[in-house]
A and B are shown apart, each in its own frame.
Chain A
């Protein structure tokens, strides 16, 4: 099984192609890498929701599309092809019939169990400093591609605008990020109610992804 980080990761030439097959190949061609911890958080969520059996289904789905993954064997701090994140989400959605909300929940869950986020906990306060100075660093801890840009923060009006540039993964990842940013905002602000909206999206013809986060 190929559970090595990117430098040794050589996607096999698949003999059988499932419905995700062509998309998978395309995704795997996207430049940029993601940390294993983020992929492993997908597995955590699946196990939490559907148990080990659910995870087996997902792994089977990935195997079918020609990119077999054993989540357990992924190295937490290792780097893997960035497209694998979108493929993981799509495989989960397909194998377990998850709706969009579940995908958002996955993003929310990821931040809760993320070791990387924990490293940054000490910088959560004050919010403005964290928002503008520290939060982009978190992105870079996950991704070797893309860019996280804190655009605007208004603590009085209780909203923030962030952008993700140069990462055109898949719309499913947009949902995932909604959940991720939403929970992040909750952890940083302590607000009970968080509303998030992807106001701009490259898949809708925009130059970048932009999220408007509001809290009460």
Chain B
């Protein structure tokens, strides 16, 4: 009996050790399980939870035990899941939120197994959770990224739609522009910023007798190999310099007026447009007109000279004594004849200028002597009108190359106007001064005359122009003087301009290059 008792005690001891080990094993398994696990009683009270559950819920174990499940999970959702679990025996991976002690909401995936007694009664529920925070964060990030991508896609589509719309609009605009360019009566050449021909319209093809395909994309200097285009290339140069309404003869029967226009976008130069306007007809008419005027003037000058000398002889009494009354008539006739001769001479000058036959014979001289010569010829008139006259000269005389006769004519036209249109007692001042260091000499004539109406100032250098105010006060004058003067000054490589205010006065300026600058313009003669 004693032996049996000892054996039984040994067995109990072994069983207790086994139980202890089993408990330890279960506790270790439960404790080290990384997934939150808990056991819920049939009435919804948490009866057991592992450390992972403590961690996710934020509650200590003795705070968790006994806690109603609704304190941890959303009530309605929990009921729903438990009901499903009771029906199926288990439920896997249902998304639900855990409400932590710190009132945070943690998304989890919840799985339930229903535990039943031998009699089949529910004795509780094992719950396992999987923390979805990282996945949710990742998912959120993915969704945000997807949204960003979607937004970007939408934005891109919008941009593409805008671009497409803009493209269509540009296409439409381009077609419109092309239609304009194609049907434009002027020839158009568009060069890109590298100087390659990017567009030529049909009119320009006609002008140059070329086909677009043969010349497109070629650099401008290469186009000079085409005889019909070469004059234009020579005019604008390889850099396509700025020109405005310059005449160029591309064929014997074709005169074009070329202008270049830079194509700019903001401050960037995208290329250059050359506009070629056919002025052949105008030139023909102009030449015909000039020839007619020239012929007529020549034809008129001979009889007018004869009349002049005949009248002179009458006035001088070479043909007999005349009465005072006759003399008076003849003098008036003589003066009128002189004006006719003057007009004819002006017209002849103009025809020569226009025909390019206004030949210049420059010599090295100084402008002061030319101006002084002209002033001397007007002294009587200045005195007669009691004008205050002043001639300001520089100390140093700069040498200039001048066609003295032509320059006298230019200065004379300017001085004649100043005296003619300045009321008696007014002031006329001529000044000569050096400009741009000593590279230029500037002529200035200032009067206190009637001035030029502002709305007519831009026409001042055109042929036959006379201001409306001077026509009212002075019937004489051909309106050719300033046209001739401008041509003479420019032919000398100079510039002419003016400032004027009606009833205050006018100041004309012109500059001429000094000798060093002459070589260039001499080539023009």
A190 and B41 contacting across the interface, CB-CB below 8 Å = yes
Bound form: Cα–Cα A123–B42 in Å: 10
Bound form: Cα–Cα A1–B214 in Å: 114
Known: A122-B124, A187-B47, A190-B43. A109 touches B62 (CB 8 A): yes
B121 and A115 contacting across the interface, CB-CB below 8 Å = no
Task: Collect the chain A residues with CB atoms within 8 Å of residue B122's CB.
Answer: 125
Chain A: CB-nearest residue to B121 = A125
A186 and B66 contacting across the interface, CB-CB below 8 Å = yes
Known: A121-B41, A183-B66, A187-B41. A113 touches B115 (CB 8 A): no
Bound form: Cα–Cα A190–B121 in Å: 18
Contact partner of B41 (CB less than 8 A), chosen from A76, A78, A124, is A124
Tell me if A7 counts as interface (CB < 8 A to partner B): yes
Bound form: Cα–Cα A190–B17 in Å: 34
Known: A48-B62, A124-B124. A118 touches B48 (CB 8 A): yes
Chain A: CB-nearest residue to B123 = A122
Contact partner of A76 (CB less than 8 A), chosen from B23, B44, B60, B117, is B23
Task: Collect the chain A residues with CB atoms within 8 Å of residue B17's CB.
Answer: 77
Task: Collect the chain A residues with CB atoms within 8 Å of residue B27's CB.
Answer: 115
Known: A121-B48, A123-B117, A125-B41. A187 touches B66 (CB 8 A): yes
Q: How large is the interface on B (under 10, 10 to 19, 20 to 34, 35 or more residues)?
A: 20 to 34
Task: Collect the chain A residues with CB atoms within 8 Å of residue B41's CB.
Answer: 121, 124-125, 187-188, 190
For residue B21, give the distance in angstroms from its CB to the closest CB of chain A: 9
For residue A40, give the distance in angstroms from its CB to the closest CB of chain B: 11
Known: A77-B23, A115-B23. A125 touches B123 (CB 8 A): yes
Bound form: Cα–Cα A48–B54 in Å: 14
Bound form: Cα–Cα A124–B123 in Å: 7
Tell me if B9 counts as interface (CB < 8 A to partner A): yes
Chain A residues touching B, majority SS: helix
Tell me if A75 counts as interface (CB < 8 A to partner B): yes
Bound form: Cα–Cα A214–B27 in Å: 33
B20 and A122 contacting across the interface, CB-CB below 8 Å = no
Tell me if B58 counts as interface (CB < 8 A to partner A): no
Bound form: Cα–Cα A46–B117 in Å: 36
B117 and A112 contacting across the interface, CB-CB below 8 Å = no
B62 and A124 contacting across the interface, CB-CB below 8 Å = no
Task: Collect the chain A residues with CB atoms within 8 Å of residue B48's CB.
Answer: 118, 121
B45 and A187 contacting across the interface, CB-CB below 8 Å = yes
For residue A6, give the distance in angstroms from its CB to the closest CB of chain B: 12
Ranked 8 nearest A-B pairs via Cβ:
A112-B65, A190-B43, A122-B123, A125-B42, A77-B20, A190-B45, A77-B16, A77-B19
Q: Which residues from chain A sit less than 8 Å from chain B, CB to CB?
A: 5, 7, 48, 75-78, 108-109, 112-113, 115, 118, 121-126, 183, 186-190, 192
Q: Which residues from chain B sit less than 8 Å from chain A, CB to CB?
A: 9, 16-17, 19-20, 23-24, 27, 39, 41-45, 47-48, 60-62, 65-66, 68, 115, 117, 121-124
| A-B residue pairs in contact (CB < 8 Å), sample of 9 | A75-B20, A76-B23, A109-B62, A113-B61, A113-B65, A122-B117, A123-B117, A125-B124, A187-B41
